[in-house]
Structure 1
């Protein structure tokens, strides 16, 4: 009789099939992104002797150009990185809300929430400052060199993705009636560009070229990077953002509102480097951002799964999928109730990631799927959910009962 093989653990079950992405290997270096032109740009940096951080900055800046439906220079960029021989670090590239964006300010406008679109939703754009900070601290290239790839695709064009074309089509009327500068870029000739059309963004190219020129006035690499950052957050870009935000624009409330973001908000913002939130799983340390982002939700899911008896499940089996999905529901319910800016809110992250808390939450995973929003009570605290989340939960329950 053959010996029984060693009993598998949840880590053995999940780790080999943790992702549907193909596993790739290489001998020199590797770049992965969501667009081939950005990936190629990062690889070109590595082939020219740049390090991984130089490549990351070049890749990210190109993504801002070639994926306008997903991200842009006015967005955010949380970064998790690790230099050879060092410890993992996080750059909190999440732009802060304007100083004037108080509950009273929205109440005075007759609003009980922040509109999902328009100028009232605008925060400090953290992306550019974070890329420059990453380049200065850990990179080796000059600012103008890493910007060159994005400048090229913005000025000379890139083939428009199918998803980008569809997104432009969805907002065509809005751009034409209320966002003329966006229409000038994304509706050339007044029409939605077809997939594969060579799309240029000359205004973005000129902005990046001007920032690169500011950097190149300095012989010292880091001084040049800081000059480019200052030109964005304290110079001509901040001034233009402040001017634009002061003009009313239609938003998702159905009315036109001017923004609350000012040039002073940009001038006072700085990216912050901090230690990541971590848990041990599958023999590895998993690092994510702090609770100012949703990163720790994955850590909560892994901690919950780590204590489950799923050794005999097949990858992709109903039992394993059920455990993963139900754990995700519990983690995201905690995200909604507990996560926030730890500078301004009490976020009990240590307890949320503790094995003891995971054990409590694990007991809620039953044999059938749950449609309840069930945040926990770490340390005995009472969970707090936004009123709109509670209303959505009540509406969902009402609809289920009616059916």
Structure 2
């Protein structure tokens, strides 16, 4: 099977959809910030490559935000004293991903005042890029009440005036001047409509130089996003990474190799990416979920499937990841697929997900000992839910898999 390449721009655009889920009320925040920064950079006559780089930075600028309550605090005021924490987290995530490490420093300072940036040992390019992201981010906070309405055109002059009043303190004067120029056009504001925004991003993608990513680079991106997902709750720390390790080893034990093995690991890393939409209050709830809360939780695997279908359109990764809550009886979710419809890799990731979750402390129970975990899996096999061969393979080296699940 030939190695599948995916394009970096397309991958960033698609994966930014998962970051947009965190906002719930402000879907596409990252894309709007990206497009506004892109247009302002154009008004400054920055090189094309610089504009595209800023577009990518804009889509990823909130990769340090996984919790909905934190996102709400970031979008309720122009400045929030806790904003620096997510900027630092995002910078750390990006610095650990060689593909995107060049964006780490501007993400680190994208909530820093211009007057403070001037005092930091940064080059002028980094200062301006970081401050432009801050400016675009705050423009979006002010325009959100008017999104999808022509009333943004009447509100726009007040938004411009309010931000120009912060020239030299929060924002660089030259950035505000460029913003005022592009903001004079009604098209700047009306293009933030969701349909137009997605259309413009697709059109831009056709003009962006193709950067194909092999599996090593795809895995780096997957690690980045798995860290964002697992940061939703202290109870899910390293869950995705552990599931990926278990799933990869199980697949190898079944003789699955080469590209399929790489895809199993990536699917394991990204299987919960749709969970960014789920409130941490639900994830951390110590008691039984209500019907509404269960519905919120159950949609995450479908969101995972749809997001990954945009990134890995020609592979089995979306199916293997999106089916991780299906069972062989056809009583799982979201597709209600029965055993015959599930690849071995789907069954492997499903077992790996349950095994790791049972071995990990959760808000509603303590970590379970190995024998208790295996008994639980055997009961599910007996009930016709899990694949007996996969559970049997895991059981034969239970202690080794348990160490992978626990990170011991």
Structure number having the greater strand percentage: 1
Structure number having the greater helix percentage: 2
Tell me if TM exceeds 0.5.
no
Q: Could you say which structure has the larger radius of gyration?
A: 1
TM normalised by structure 2 equals: 0.29
